[in-house]
């Protein structure tokens, strides 16, 4: 099977591409950043922007058996005109281009985000359901709502498109701007962990390896529609902080800083649709997940002391 992964050099894209290659799939890894991985027979790398008039991109997307569109401009907190434009370009315009090039019958999975919900609605502890009205709190979430609208039009015209709404994803290769990655880096250099708002805030955290499995199974299932990708369990930030301390075997210090409006207090996925589609829901072992992310980032980090080569 020939699979195209857009955003292949990113956090989710690298994990997905690696898993597909490990299972012997033929993969086109497409990203404007260079995808660096083990050279294997099934790997084709295209280093180009999705908005480039590039024949390689056109051909790959037109001929793939399955496409995972993960390329985008993530991150809820960045502000400013440049970021607003980057979100529109890399989330909305890039998705429009992918939709234009992938044939309607080709299974296509597009990553939106749980940020379209603007946090868990109503009573405390109530999870977000796919049919809830969207409530984007900032520019990132609004760009994802626009992405979803493009996909909905495609589905209404008979397109085979699944919109996945991942909640917080963690694990090896996590983007450095995300909480766990930045906390691990801070703890290693004896700096306090910056916690937004309060240690009581909660996040639905899924291991990137489970997200990869879910995305693959959603594509194979071929049921168009929108689906949450989460565990259905809200983790207080204090548990994530404790997991960082346990993973590094140190006492960590925290500093609470005001949360921005775009940061919902709590996120929680309603997982009934995911279970109905796949027959399972990911379960995250937080201590194991943070320990594996810590080990991977330790291995990837440059040594703190200069290495003398004689
Ligand atoms: P990432 O930034 O690590 O990866 C995105 C990749 O897309 C980057 O390598 C970037 O170079 C590439 N890209 C962006 N615009 C491009 C373009 N125009 N042409 C070619 N390549 C382009 O992000 P990630 O964390 O891996 O997230 C992947 C997707 O999942 C994004 O759409 C993100 O919004 C969504 N998502 C991620 C999370 C999470 O917890 N990481 C949660 C919810 C949703």
Question: How sure is the predictor about 307, in pLDDT bands with cuts at 50, 70 and 90?
Answer: very low
CA of 145 to the centre of ligand 1 (A): 16
Which pLDDT band holds residue 146 (cuts at 50, 70, 90)? very high
Please tell me what DSSP assigns to residue 308. P
Q: How confident is the model at residue 39 (pLDDT cuts 50, 70, 90)?
A: confident
Going by pLDDT thresholds of 50, 70 and 90, the confidence category of residue 102 is very high
Q: Which atom of ligand 1 is nearest to the CA of 50?
A: 19
- Say yes or no to pLDDT of 308 above 90: no
C-alpha radius of gyration, the chain, whole number: 19
Which residue's CA is the nearest one to ligand 1's atom 6?
A: 7
Is a pLDDT exceeding 90 seen at residue 306? no
What pLDDT score does 80 carry?
83
Nearest atom of ligand 1 to the alpha carbon of 33: 11
Q: Whose CA is nearest to atom 3 of ligand 1?
A: 10
Q: How far is residue 180's CA from residue 26's CA, in Å, rounded to a whole number?
A: 32
- Whether the per-residue pLDDT at 162 is higher than 90: the answer is yes
CA of 250 to the centre of ligand 1 (A): 32
Convert the pLDDT of each residue in 54-80 to its tens digit: 999 999 999 999 999 999 999 888 678
Across residues 39-47, what is the average pLDDT?
92
**pLDDT score at 85:** 94
Has residue 158 got a pLDDT over 50?
yes
Would you place residue 160 in the very low, low, confident or very high pLDDT band (cuts 50, 70, 90)? very high
Report the half-sphere exposure of 112 (CA within 13 A, side-chain side).
Answer: 29
Mean pLDDT of 40-47: 93
Q: Which of 174, 148, 146, 138 is nearest to 264 (CA)?
A: 138
- Residue among 15, 47, 19 at smallest CA distance from 175: 15
Q: How far is the CA of 254 from the centre of ligand 1 (A)?
A: 28
- pLDDT attached to residue 301: 64
As a whole number, the mean pLDDT across the chain is 94
At 224, give phi and psi (nearest 5°).
-65, 155
Q: What is the dihedral of CA 241, 247, 250, 251, to 10 degrees?
A: 20
Residues having CB within 6 Å of any atom of ligand 1: 7, 9-13, 31-33, 49-51, 70-72, 74, 90, 94, 111, 113, 166, 168-169, 175
pLDDT at 303: 47
Pure H helices in 157-271: 179-188, 208-221, 237-248
* Alpha-carbon gap, residue 179 to 237, rounded angstroms: 10
> SS3 for 229?
strand
**CA-wise closest residue to 65 among 119, 109, 117, 13:** 109
């Amino acid at each position: 099977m020939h699979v195209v992964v857009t955003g292949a050099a990113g956090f989710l894209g690298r994990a997905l591409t690696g898993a597909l290659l490990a299972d012997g799939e033929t993969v086109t890894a497409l990203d404007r950043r260079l995808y660096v991985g083990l050279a294997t027979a099934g790997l084709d790398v295209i280093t180009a922007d999705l908005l480039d008039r590039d024949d390689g991109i056109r051909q790959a997307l037109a001929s793939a058996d399955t496409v995972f569109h993960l390329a985008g401009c993530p991150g809820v907190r960045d502000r400013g005109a440049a970021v607003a434009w980057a979100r529109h370009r890399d989330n909305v315009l890039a998705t429009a281009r992918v939709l234009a090039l992938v044939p309607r019958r080709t299974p296509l999975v597009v990553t939106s985000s749980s940020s379209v919900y603007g946090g868990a609605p109503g009573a405390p502890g109530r999870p977000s359901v796919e049919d809830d009205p969207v409530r984007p709190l900032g520019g990132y979430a609004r760009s994802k709502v626009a992405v979803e609208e493009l996909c909905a039009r495609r589905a209404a015209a008979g397109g085979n498109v699944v919109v996945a709404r991942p909640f917080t994803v963690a694990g090896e290769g996590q983007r450095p701007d995300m909480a766990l990655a930045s906390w691990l880096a801070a703890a290693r250099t004896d700096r306090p962990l910056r916690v937004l708002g309060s240690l009581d805030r909660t996040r639905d955290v899924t291991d990137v390896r489970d997200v990869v499995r879910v995305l693959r199974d959603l594509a194979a299932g071929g049921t168009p529609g929108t689906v949450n990708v989460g565990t259905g369990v809200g983790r207080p930030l204090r548990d994530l902080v404790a997991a960082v301390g346990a993973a590094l075997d140190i006492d960590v210090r925290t500093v609470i800083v005001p949360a921005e409006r775009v940061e919902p207090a709590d996120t929680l996925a309603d997982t009934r649709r995911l279970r109905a589609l796949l027959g399972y829901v990911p379960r995250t072992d937080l201590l194991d997940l943070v320990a594996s992310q810590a080990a991977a980032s330790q291995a990837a980090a440059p040594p703190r002391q200069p290495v003398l080569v004689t």
